A = this chain, B = another copy of it.
Amino acid sequence: MSFQYIILNQDLSIKSDHSKSLSDAARPNCAVIGIWGLSEAANLSYLGLYAMQHRGQEAAGIVSSDGQTLYRHADSGLVADVFRDRCVFDNLPGNAALGHNRYSTTGSSSTPNVQPLLVEDRAGPIALAHNGNLVNYSDLRRFLVEEGSLFRTSTDSELFLHLFARSRAKSLINRLIEALHIVKGAYSLIILTRDSLIAVRDPLAFRPLSLGAKDDGWVVASETCAFDLLGAKYVRDVQPGEMVVFNDNRLESHQFAESKRTAHCIFEYIYFSRPDSRIFGVMVDKTRRRLGHILAERHPNPPDADFVIAVPDSSNTAGLGYAHQSGLPFEIALIRNHYIGRTFIEPEQRMRDFGAKVKFNPVAGVLRGRRVVLVDDSIVRGTTLRKLVRLIRGAGAEKVYVRISSPPIKNPCFYGMDFPTREELAADQHSIDEIRAYIEADDLEYLTPEELLEAVPHSSGQDYCTACFTGIYPVAVNNE
């Protein structure tokens, strides 16, 4: 397949190329939320999406159900912008709802791609929200197109709907299970029909998905920080290969696939999830502190460092862990500008290192003449960190020792993390010392994969996907 088409909306001119690489076809790291049996369900979904805004800033949408009809509002933009008008919620009635945040990347943010998807099935209207990435998307899409299915989006999430629609099984649940047996990859899925809410997690449980209780109703969400805002209580995670069906006031659990081990995305702990969420059984904050702790414990501390600083906000916790273990003071020397708005237009080409400056401003009074340990969570391309090191040095720092609370990223992700192609990864062809030289640090230490795994919980059968560090992919990927 090598064609493409362009959809022009009034405000939107977007080119969606269905023939690109797999990791481009889907925008993986999103947030999903489902509400069942609670009044003002759309409102609660909105709050949950707001709490999980860090998982996707490109677009947001909610579908609600009043038992007869499904209602939808969705658009590109931040949650608070998409649902700016109070009256929107008047048009989203009912005690059940489904919400989705879409991850912000360049390109394919065309309106049709905004989730939740809402279609008419022969059993009635059905809405779906998906976090994850399917590895057999291209093959399945090609097959279905050949069979006469008409696709309306360029997301892999639509696959579920077509497979579901084509299943010859009798019940809605069985049709869904048939569809799930065909797709391969990572999916935390929530589905809303007129009379049920269904939460599904792939057999390897790549992405988080948790179950909470509030009053007499239920909440399902990508991260537990949504429960806190809603006043819901964490009950348990949706299990690997489990489908939880809420129906009237019953909760049914179906184990649609066997799961011997998990392949939790360890990057959720390193960077993606919020520190105040509990995922894969443990608080993210606690794990992230341990990463900083082990980094300070196992790797040489710069003997002359004055203090530790972190790249705000994502590396703050690991930075604190490092500071506590190393005995160095923790300082705040980078001021982050949080007012990003929908898009930021970069001016004059010749202004170098502009990207980093827009986000971060170093505090010269803290840095001048000092030797600092800079803790960051990861290095992808290295370009941003290089700019940051320059900014810090430009503000007068004498030494910049960089510590990374994860191992070198050497491989692309096919399960949902938005990494670039292998060639663009700093650690692909370069040694740690070459990277150090590139980012112009005085010193550079990473965690090893072993140390990383030491920091995370390991209950029975619980394992992690570390493919981006190790190249060991838990689900075979036949096209790159």
Contact = CB atoms under 8 A, between A and B. Distances in A.
Interface of A: 3-10, 13, 18, 40, 43-44, 46-47, 50-51, 53-54, 57, 68-75, 77-81, 83-84, 86, 88-89, 91-92, 118-122, 124-125, 142, 145-152, 161-162, 165-167, 194, 225, 228-229, 231, 274-276, 283, 285-286, 313, 316-317, 320, 324, 329-332, 335-345, 347-348, 351, 357-358, 361-366
A47 B354 CA distance: 11
Contact of A6 (B72, B121, B147, B165): B72
Nearest to A4: B69
A320 B332 contact: yes
Given A285-B365, A341-B81, A148 B162 contact: yes
A148 B347 CA distance: 39
Contact of A345 (B84, B152, B229, B330): B84
Determine chain A's interface SS by DSSP, over half rule. mixed
Contacts of A364: 276, 283
Contacts of A167: 148
Nearest to A118: B5
B50 A339 contact: yes
A47 B337 CA distance: 12
Within the oligomer, what is the number of copies of this chain? 4
Contacts of A194: 3
Given A3-B69, A6-B91, A150-B165, 15 more contacts: A5-B118, A5-B120, A8-B74, A9-B75, A18-B120, A46-B347, A50-B337, A51-B337, A84-B345, A89-B345, A119-B151, A122-B145, A149-B150, A274-B335, A320-B331
Contacts of A40: 347-348
Given A120-B150, A149-B149, A320-B332, A285 B338 contact: no
A344 to B, nearest CB: 5
Nearest to A80: B341
A91 B13 CA distance: 8
A47 B347 contact: yes
Nearest to A78: B341
Given A91-B13, A276-B361, A337-B53, A151 B120 contact: yes
A80 B166 contact: no
Contacts of A69: 3-6
A254 to B, nearest CB: 22
